[in-house]
Amino acid sequence: MKSRTIVVGDIHGCYDELMELTEKVNLGDRDRVVSVGDLITKGPKNKEVLEVFMTDPRFSTVIGNHDLQLRRKWYGEDVDLKPAQREAHKELKGEKDHYASFLNRLPFWIDLGSHLVVHAGLRPNVELYSQTTGDLTRLRTLGPDRESEEGTPWYHVYYGDKTVLFGHWPAPEPRRGKKAIGLDTGCVYGYNLTAYIIETEEFVTVKAKRAYDES
């Protein structure tokens, strides 16, 4: 079997669903799994998800906004954690140096050749190295508030050379632009965990066991 690149939407501690998804795609030794970030917070098994990405060389990820917030906290920045982030901090703080070191090594994007993986989005007509941390980890629309759901979604007007695979903005089905695909289908909220196989252009989903976060 040829190697495949399998890009997975926001996991948020949904370890059981991640394992079910790897079984459903029949993950092979030569395959690669790339996450769009937000490995942790909100879901029940943050430690287990982190350990998979830290120990299995087939797995890699960009950093998401929730991952980044905990990294900042663990490196001593004065940040206000949201309730779900505080719960993850409580769960992981006994080994926070171990996990902080891993999160500190995560990139803001992964270049897959024909595709680019980021957590949230890219501002159109802005060079990749000029994108801000806020845009890469929190962008939704192009209005004055990047996190607002009102305004023009960035992926509707993005026409870059590479197709962007992103998460951050949950929806019942993958979001689609001409050159962008959103893979956060709200697993932690009781919907689905979705993967996109680049080589076959195939979507694969598994249903969440339950809603872990109802905020």
pTM for this predicted structure: 0.96
Tokens 């951050």 locate to 168
Q: In this structure, what CATH number is given to the domain that contains residue 177?
A: 3.60.21.10
Angle at which helices 83-92 and 65-74 pack, to 10 degrees?
60
* pLDDT band at residue 145 under the 50/70/90 scheme: confident
From CA 64, how far away is CA 210, in angstroms rounded? 23
- For range 178-194, the mean pLDDT: 98
Burial class (CB in 10 A: 0-12, 13-18, 19+), 187: buried
**Shortest CA distance to 137 belongs to which of 194, 69, 89?**
69
User: Is residue 212 included in any domain, yes or no?
Assistant: no
- For range 143-172, the mean pLDDT: 92
User: Is residue 214 included in any domain, yes or no?
Assistant: no
Looking at the structure of the chain, the number of domains it has is 1
User: Is residue 215 included in any domain, yes or no?
Assistant: no
Q: Tell me: the pLDDT tens digits for 81-108?
A: 999 999 999 999 999 999 999 999 999 9
CA separation, residue 160 to residues 4, 37, 67, 146, 205 (Å): 23, 21, 27, 19, 27
Domain span including residue 109? 5-207
User: Is residue 113 included in any domain, yes or no?
Assistant: yes
- For range 31-58, the mean pLDDT: 98
DSSP string covering 139-202, please?
A: --BSSSSTT-SSS-BGGGS---SSEEEE-SS--SS-EEETTEEE---BGGGTSEEEEEETTTTE
User: Is residue 83 included in any domain, yes or no?
Assistant: yes
- For range 140-162, the mean pLDDT: 90
